[in-house]
Amino acid sequence: MQLPDLAQDIRFPLLGLDECEFSFQVKTQAMGPHIKHHWGWDEEFQRGIHSKNLLEKPFSKIEFQGKPIGTISLQRCSAHFQFGEFYLANEFRGRGIGTAILRHCLILADGLRLPVRLEYLLWNPVGTLYRRHGFLETAATSTHYLMERPVLASKL
């Protein structure tokens, strides 16, 4: 799905397959410490997972003021949106950009009256961001929390 631009300075062009290295490096910055801490880092294995995900999901590049700073996957399914592969380069985290992007996606989903689902690693602190935005845990696996944010009731 093509995510509409958030503002003039935050855009979401579709990620080309030739941008695999960029998207892998951003993912490595964001997820590498969490993965390394629990499993160690197997470069070949991680690249394989990433390449598989690029082929299976719609990816967009996140551009801030014309500069690529991350990736996101937002997929419209029949009964919900699937949110994921949301990674920002280190220097752009903690500046409110991720919150603005998440809020943008939630507004889009609410406008279409669809809940949003996601999953994230159990030991990734990003869960606090998701909980602040109304996501509720629906299940857990041995490695991931599964969450859903229901559609917010519209104000009449």
- Does residue 32 fall inside a structural domain? yes
- Categorise residue 18: left if φ over 0, alpha if ψ from -120 to 50, beta otherwise: alpha
Tokens of 19: 């941008």
Q: CATH number, domain at 53?
A: 3.40.630.30
Per the structure, how many domains does the chain have? 1
- Does residue 138 fall inside a structural domain? no
Interatomic CA distance for residues 92 and 82, integer angstroms = 23
Reported as a single tens digit per residue, the pLDDT across 33-86 is 989 988 899 999 999 999 999 989 999 999 999 999 999 999 999 999 999 999
pTM: 0.90
Interatomic CA distance for residues 145 and 124, integer angstroms = 10
Reported as a single tens digit per residue, the pLDDT across 79-115 is 999 999 999 999 999 999 999 999 999 999 999 999 9
- Does residue 101 fall inside a structural domain? yes
- Which domain range does residue 76 map to? 10-115
